[in-house]
Structure 1
Amino acid sequence: MGLCDIHDIRAILGRHGFHFSKSLGQNFLTDPSVPAGIAEASGAAETRNVIEVGPGMGCLTAELCRRADKVVAVELDRALLPVLEETLAGFDNIEVVQGDVLALDLKALCREKFGDAPAAACANLPYYITTPAITALLESGAFTRITVMVQREVARRICAKPGTPDYSAFSIYVQYHAAAEILFDVPADCFVPQPKVDSAVLQLTPLAKPPVETRDEKLFFALVRAAFNMRRKTLVNALGPVLGSRIGKAEITALVESVGLDVRVRGERLSLADFAKLADAVCEKGA
């Protein structure tokens, strides 16, 4: 049985009367080197315990099972459960949990399945849940490494540097919580049905502490969101909606200058350290 072979895929799915769901963003891999590459990079062989999100037909799951002591796969689509029962029948270290990764307590799930042992996370994420799923995986604090396949554009955005077109509020959010690296690209023709865009495999290594210190993390991210909500405006003007009810434009301008920034700068050019300095200056001002 080839879980990346198009003929076997059609035969297996046909036996179970399965139909692809556009609403769930289902695309199955047809290039066996991709799941093998993801599993090898995932840290499964080191942590020995893996949570997989969205196993699909199980091609990545099988590769993880070959490397880890235990794999727990979280699948939302009930129609795939009998498919997975067939495709993963040869492994005794897999447990499939039906559920929504966005609704699960991932830390509690890891504790239940692995005790206090470390765990890695792997996923071929549907495009429509990429941002909330990555957020959930990071905020769970449950994983030593997170390896996900996402839309290539999103991977580039997450790893983007200040002043580049892809740099965004989500770039800062992820880089505040993890070291991010694009491992390799995956062309659209590696999937069935074939998506309209290419993908990339992204690895996130959660940080023990953020790369910058700030007195008020909530304020830090409020300033980041404000800066990118109006990214074509200067930072001074973009911060008006979040600070304007407490201090005037002249004071916002003075704050921006006080941390060594040009008053004409746009938020998209600020680094994490710049936003941290600005947030601390706002705290000192008592604004």
Structure 2
Amino acid sequence: MIGTSKKTFQILKKYNFNFKKSLGQNFLIDSNILNKIVNSASIDKDTGVIEIGSGIGSLTEVLAKSAKEVISFEIDGRLLPILADTLAAYDNVEIINKDILKVDVDKIIKEKFSTCSKIMLVANLPYYITTPILTHLLENTSLIDGYVVMMQKEVANRLNAKVGTKDYNSLTILLNYYTDVEYLFTVPKKVFVPAPNVESAVVKIMTKKEKDIYIADTEEFFNFVRNCFAQRRKTLMNNLIAISGKDKKESLLSACQSLGIEPSRRSETLTIFEFNKLHTDLKNREVIK
């Protein structure tokens, strides 16, 4: 098995591989954790799996043993010959040397997973780009049934944070609109090489079949929500003024009052329903574009 301490160091030595800190490379060296991640995704022989960050193939190998097809995106070209070696025994794996943020994932799913009844994304996400990846996929991909992903524990705590807590932010609202989030388990630093500076966590994110709320223009709405969280220490009103301009203050106050939203509240105290009402009202008043 690739994902053990002994085997990983053998591979790194064989290929004289040096980690690139800029790519957030931290390879898992614990087979129990790898199996736990894959088991959490409920993968079977009808499942197509997308992985982001193949590394030397530790997680990819375990996925290949359970899934029908695995498409793994690896941006570091230096790893391609290593993966060709470590995954040579698996004919259901394809490595794509592209940035996940720059590909049409739905197109790839339709081309590669046409015979799969379920699509899961399972990955040890690069921590420096976790939020952009999740945001991009949720806003632009409609065919993924669910995600089981490793990320920085601090980010994991934000995904299903409660309204009014310090962890609640625009990412929480985005995830709760599109998905149901479950924090699975914490992962210690010692099971990686090199060891990261932070604790990690595995989270299960399942796409909602039906949304809890109707939002007419999701891109516009979530940009508005992100702007409302731009200055967390300031009040909702101060953030709204930063969005619209000081000349719109009276209109902003009127909108908040008509909806029963106290302008002195902070953004982390608003639910998605309140944000939606506020955004719709401000659009109708032409206070925001």
Q: Which amino acid aligns with 1:100?
A: D
- 3-state SS in 1 of match to 2:17: coil
The letter of the residue matching 2:105 is: L
Kindly indicate whether residue 42 of structure 2 is the aligned counterpart of residue 43 of structure 1: yes
Partner of 1:127 in structure 2?
127
Instruction: Give the whole-Å Cα distance in 2 for the aligned partners of 1:283 and 1:19.
Output: 52
- Give the 3-state SS of the residue equivalent to 2:23 in structure 1: coil
Contact 1:54–1:124 (8 Å) recurs in 2: yes
Q: Deviations over 1:84-108 (max 9, x none)?
A: 2222223222122221111111111
- Residue equivalent to 2:19: 20
SS in 2 for 1:23: helix
Structure 1 residues 71 and 252: CA distance shift in structure 2, 3 A: same
Shift of 1:63: 1.4
SS state of the match for residue 95, structure 2? strand
Q: Which residue number in structure 2 is paired with residue 67 of structure 1?
A: 66
Report Cα offsets for 1:111-146 as digits up to 9, x if no partner.
111126431111111111111211232222220011
Partner residue, 1:206: 207
Q: Distance in 2 between matches of 1:146 and 1:212?
A: 22
- State the alpha-carbon separation in 1 of the partners of residues 149 and 30 from structure 2: 16
For residues 167-225 of structure 1, give each alpha carbon's deviation from its aligned partner in whole angstroms, at most 9, with x where no partner exists: 11122122222222211111111101101101111121122343222344344324312
Give the 3-state SS of the residue equivalent to 2:250 in structure 1: helix
Q: In the alignment, is the contact (CA less than 8 A) between 1:259 and 1:277 conserved in 2?
A: yes
Q: Answer with 149-158 or 129-138: which moved more.
A: 129-138
- 2:102 aligns to what SS in structure 1? coil
Q: Is the 8 A contact 2:5 2:30 kept in 1?
A: no
Q: Distance in 2 between matches of 1:16 and 1:141?
A: 38
Residues 145 and 219 of structure 1: is their aligned pair in 2 closer, same or farther, counting only changes over 3 Å?
Answer: closer
1:96 matched to 2:95: yes
In the TM superposition, what is the alpha-carbon distance from 1:47 to its structure 2 partner? 4.8
Tell me whether 1:136 sits opposite 2:148 in the alignment: no
Amino acid at match of 1:35: L
Q: Is the 8 A contact 1:50 1:68 kept in 2?
A: yes
Instruction: Single out whichever of 146-155 and 5-14 deviates more from structure 2.
Output: 5-14
Cα distance in 1 for partners of 2:115, 2:237 equals 47
RMSD across aligned positions (CA)? 1.9
Identity, % of aligned positions: 38
* 1:39, distance to aligned residue in structure 2 (A): 0.8
1:31 paired to 2:30: yes
Task: Return 97-106 or 208-217, whichever deviates more.
Answer: 208-217
Contact 1:162 / 1:269 at 8 angstroms: preserved in 2?
Answer: yes
**Aligned 1:211-222 pairs, distance under 5 A:** 211-222=212-223
Structure 2 counterpart of 1:146, one-letter code: Y
Q: Secondary structure at the residue paired with 2:101?
A: coil
Match of 1:254 in 2: 254
Which whole-Å deviations, capped at 9, do the CAs of 1:250-279 have from their partners, x for residues lacking one? 221121122222232111110111101111
Q: Label 1:73 to 1:217 Cα distance change in 2 as closer, same or farther (>3 A).
A: closer
Change (3 A) 1:242 1:199: same
User: Does the Cα contact within 8 Å between 2:3 and 2:34 map onto a contact in 1?
Assistant: no
**1: distance between equivalents of 2:238 and 2:184?**
38
Residue identity matched to 1:251: S
Aligned residues: 285
Which consecutive unaligned segments of at least 5 residues does structure 2 have?
none
Partner of 2:166: 165
- Which residue in the other structure is 2:79 paired with? 80
Helix, strand or coil: the match of 2:66?
A: coil
In structure 1, distance between residues paired with 2:210 and 2:259: 23
Does the aligned pair in 1 maintain the 2:122–2:147 contact within 8 Å?
Answer: yes
Distance 2:53 2:26 in 1: 11
Give the whole-Å Cα distance in 2 for the aligned partners of 1:105 and 1:218. Answer: 17
Q: CA deviation at 1:150?
A: 0.5
Deviates more, 1:107-116 or 1:184-193: 107-116
**Is 1:182 aligned to 2:189, yes or no?**
no
Structure 1 segments (4+ residues) deviating >6 Å: none
Give matches, 1:145-160, under 5 Å: 145-160=146-161
**Residues 29, 190 of structure 1: 8 Å contact kept:** yes
The TM-score normalised by the length of structure 2 is 0.91
- Note closer, same or farther for the CA distance 1:115–1:165 as it changes in structure 2 (3 Å cut): same
Q: Which amino acid aligns with 2:119?
A: A
Contact 1:174 1:180 in 2 (8 A): yes
